[in-house]
Structure 1
Amino acid sequence: MNQNILFSDLQSWDNAKQAVNFPAQQGGALITCWVSLKWLQQHTSQPLVTEDDILAAFSANRFDLEELAEEQIEDEDFDNEGCIFIG
Protein backbone atom coordinates (compact mmCIF):
# COMPACT_ATOMS: atom_id res chain seq x y z
CA MET A 1 0.00 0.00 0.00
CA ASN A 2 1.24 3.45 -0.92
CA GLN A 3 1.61 5.47 2.27
CA ASN A 4 1.44 8.68 0.22
CA ILE A 5 -2.27 8.06 -0.39
CA LEU A 6 -4.44 8.24 2.71
CA PHE A 7 -8.11 7.32 3.04
CA SER A 8 -10.33 8.64 5.81
CA ASP A 9 -13.07 6.65 7.49
CA LEU A 10 -15.70 8.89 5.93
CA GLN A 11 -18.19 7.75 3.33
CA SER A 12 -21.57 8.99 2.18
CA TRP A 13 -24.30 7.81 -0.15
CA ASP A 14 -25.27 10.12 -3.04
CA ASN A 15 -28.71 9.17 -4.29
CA ALA A 16 -28.45 11.35 -7.41
CA LYS A 17 -25.21 9.66 -8.52
CA GLN A 18 -26.26 6.23 -7.22
CA ALA A 19 -22.77 5.94 -5.73
CA VAL A 20 -20.88 6.08 -2.45
CA ASN A 21 -18.38 8.90 -2.01
CA PHE A 22 -15.17 8.31 -0.06
CA PRO A 23 -12.29 10.80 0.11
CA ALA A 24 -8.59 10.19 -0.37
CA GLN A 25 -5.64 12.48 0.18
CA GLN A 26 -2.39 12.51 -1.75
CA GLY A 27 0.32 15.07 -1.12
CA GLY A 28 -2.18 17.34 0.62
CA ALA A 29 -4.65 17.23 -2.27
CA LEU A 30 -8.15 15.95 -1.56
CA ILE A 31 -9.37 13.43 -4.13
CA THR A 32 -13.02 12.48 -4.35
CA CYS A 33 -13.54 8.78 -4.96
CA TRP A 34 -16.80 7.11 -5.94
CA VAL A 35 -18.01 3.54 -6.13
CA SER A 36 -21.24 2.79 -7.96
CA LEU A 37 -24.20 0.98 -6.47
CA LYS A 38 -23.91 -1.47 -9.38
CA TRP A 39 -20.33 -2.39 -8.37
CA LEU A 40 -21.39 -2.91 -4.75
CA GLN A 41 -24.36 -5.07 -5.76
CA GLN A 42 -22.16 -7.19 -8.06
CA HIS A 43 -19.60 -7.77 -5.31
CA THR A 44 -22.12 -8.58 -2.60
CA SER A 45 -24.41 -10.64 -4.89
CA GLN A 46 -27.48 -9.08 -3.33
CA PRO A 47 -29.79 -6.17 -3.98
CA LEU A 48 -28.95 -3.15 -1.87
CA VAL A 49 -32.01 -1.01 -1.27
CA THR A 50 -31.56 1.09 1.85
CA GLU A 51 -28.76 3.55 2.53
CA ASP A 52 -27.76 1.46 5.57
CA ASP A 53 -27.44 -1.66 3.37
CA ILE A 54 -25.40 0.23 0.78
CA LEU A 55 -23.00 1.70 3.36
CA ALA A 56 -22.65 -1.69 5.06
CA ALA A 57 -21.71 -3.22 1.69
CA PHE A 58 -19.21 -0.41 1.19
CA SER A 59 -17.67 -1.07 4.61
CA ALA A 60 -17.43 -4.80 3.90
CA ASN A 61 -15.51 -4.04 0.68
CA ARG A 62 -13.56 -1.00 1.90
CA PHE A 63 -10.09 -2.60 1.70
CA ASP A 64 -10.59 -3.74 -1.91
CA LEU A 65 -12.10 -0.38 -2.88
CA GLU A 66 -9.21 1.55 -1.38
CA GLU A 67 -6.76 -0.63 -3.30
CA LEU A 68 -8.66 -0.08 -6.56
CA ALA A 69 -8.85 3.67 -5.94
CA GLU A 70 -5.14 3.77 -5.06
CA GLU A 71 -4.26 2.08 -8.37
CA GLN A 72 -6.39 4.57 -10.31
CA ILE A 73 -4.85 7.52 -8.45
CA GLU A 74 -1.33 6.26 -9.16
CA ASP A 75 -2.30 5.79 -12.83
CA GLU A 76 -3.88 9.27 -12.84
CA ASP A 77 -7.11 7.71 -14.09
CA PHE A 78 -9.37 10.64 -13.14
CA ASP A 79 -12.72 11.44 -14.71
CA ASN A 80 -13.65 14.84 -16.22
CA GLU A 81 -14.34 16.24 -12.75
CA GLY A 82 -10.98 15.11 -11.33
CA CYS A 83 -12.55 12.24 -9.40
CA ILE A 84 -11.86 8.54 -9.21
CA PHE A 85 -14.83 6.39 -10.21
CA ILE A 86 -15.07 2.66 -9.60
CA GLY A 87 -17.99 1.47 -11.56
Structure 2
Amino acid sequence: MNQAIQFIDRLEFREPAHQLVFFAQVNGMLVECVIAVSSLGLTDESHATSYFEKNRFDYEERAEQLIEDESYNSAGQIEVSLIS
Protein backbone atom coordinates (compact mmCIF):
# COMPACT_ATOMS: atom_id res chain seq x y z
CA MET A 1 0.00 0.00 0.00
CA ASN A 2 1.25 3.46 -0.91
CA GLN A 3 1.83 5.40 2.32
CA ALA A 4 1.09 8.71 0.54
CA ILE A 5 -2.51 7.51 0.00
CA GLN A 6 -4.72 7.00 3.03
CA PHE A 7 -8.45 6.33 2.99
CA ILE A 8 -10.37 8.09 5.72
CA ASP A 9 -13.49 6.79 7.42
CA ARG A 10 -15.97 9.07 5.68
CA LEU A 11 -18.72 8.08 3.25
CA GLU A 12 -21.43 10.19 1.61
CA PHE A 13 -24.47 9.11 -0.39
CA ARG A 14 -25.39 11.85 -2.84
CA GLU A 15 -29.07 11.27 -3.50
CA PRO A 16 -29.91 13.16 -6.69
CA ALA A 17 -26.88 11.80 -8.54
CA HIS A 18 -27.05 8.36 -6.87
CA GLN A 19 -23.36 8.43 -6.05
CA LEU A 20 -21.38 6.96 -3.21
CA VAL A 21 -18.41 9.14 -2.35
CA PHE A 22 -15.52 8.01 -0.18
CA PHE A 23 -12.40 9.99 0.50
CA ALA A 24 -8.66 9.55 0.26
CA GLN A 25 -5.90 11.73 1.57
CA VAL A 26 -3.20 12.00 -1.07
CA ASN A 27 -0.07 13.82 0.03
CA GLY A 28 -2.18 15.84 2.46
CA MET A 29 -4.95 16.71 -0.04
CA LEU A 30 -8.50 15.36 0.20
CA VAL A 31 -9.63 13.51 -2.93
CA GLU A 32 -13.21 12.41 -3.61
CA CYS A 33 -13.59 8.88 -4.94
CA VAL A 34 -16.95 8.57 -6.66
CA ILE A 35 -18.97 5.44 -7.43
CA ALA A 36 -22.07 5.84 -9.61
CA VAL A 37 -24.56 3.42 -8.04
CA SER A 38 -27.81 4.25 -9.86
CA SER A 39 -27.90 0.83 -11.54
CA LEU A 40 -27.81 -0.92 -8.13
CA GLY A 41 -31.17 0.44 -7.01
CA LEU A 42 -29.93 1.52 -3.58
CA THR A 43 -32.89 3.26 -1.99
CA ASP A 44 -31.32 5.23 0.84
CA GLU A 45 -28.13 6.03 2.68
CA SER A 46 -28.29 2.96 4.96
CA HIS A 47 -28.50 0.60 1.97
CA ALA A 48 -25.66 2.47 0.25
CA THR A 49 -23.49 2.34 3.37
CA SER A 50 -24.12 -1.37 3.83
CA TYR A 51 -23.22 -2.06 0.19
CA PHE A 52 -20.01 -0.04 0.45
CA GLU A 53 -18.90 -1.69 3.70
CA LYS A 54 -19.23 -5.14 2.10
CA ASN A 55 -16.97 -4.05 -0.77
CA ARG A 56 -14.79 -1.41 0.92
CA PHE A 57 -11.41 -3.04 0.36
CA ASP A 58 -12.06 -3.75 -3.32
CA TYR A 59 -13.15 -0.16 -3.93
CA GLU A 60 -10.20 1.26 -2.01
CA GLU A 61 -7.82 -0.95 -3.99
CA ARG A 62 -9.31 0.24 -7.31
CA ALA A 63 -9.22 3.86 -6.20
CA GLU A 64 -5.62 3.55 -5.05
CA GLN A 65 -4.57 2.29 -8.49
CA LEU A 66 -6.48 5.10 -10.23
CA ILE A 67 -4.86 7.69 -7.95
CA GLU A 68 -1.41 6.25 -8.66
CA ASP A 69 -2.22 6.42 -12.40
CA GLU A 70 -3.39 10.04 -11.88
CA SER A 71 -6.77 9.24 -13.48
CA TYR A 72 -8.59 12.29 -12.14
CA ASN A 73 -11.69 13.64 -13.89
CA SER A 74 -12.12 17.33 -14.73
CA ALA A 75 -13.50 17.99 -11.22
CA GLY A 76 -10.42 16.45 -9.59
CA GLN A 77 -12.30 13.33 -8.52
CA ILE A 78 -11.50 9.67 -9.00
CA GLU A 79 -14.33 7.77 -10.71
CA VAL A 80 -14.39 4.17 -9.54
CA SER A 81 -16.31 1.56 -11.52
CA LEU A 82 -18.81 -0.77 -9.88
CA ILE A 83 -17.67 -4.09 -8.45
CA SER A 84 -19.40 -6.88 -10.36
Q: Please, what TM-score do these two structures have when normalized by structure 2?
A: 0.87
Percent identity of the aligned residues? Answer: 36
Residue 38 of structure 1: CA displacement?
A: 4.5
**What does 1:15-30 correspond to in 2, within 5 Å?**
15-30=15-30
- Name the structure 2 match of 1:79: 73
2-structure distance, mates of 1:65, 1:28: 20
**Does residue 70 of the first structure (1) align with residue 71 of the second (2)?**
no
Aligned residues: 81
Unaligned stretches of 5+ residues in structure 2: none
2-structure distance, mates of 1:38, 1:73: 23
Q: Are residues 38 and 16 of structure 1, via their aligned partners in 2, closer, same or farther at CA, if it must alter by over 3 Å?
A: closer
2-structure distance, mates of 1:8, 1:70: 13
2-structure distance, mates of 1:53, 1:29: 29
Structure 1's consecutive aligned runs of 4 or more residues displaced over 4 angstroms after TM superposition are: none
Q: Please, what TM-score do these two structures have when normalized by structure 1?
A: 0.84
Q: Provide the alpha-carbon RMSD of the alignment.
A: 1.4
Higher strand proportion:
2
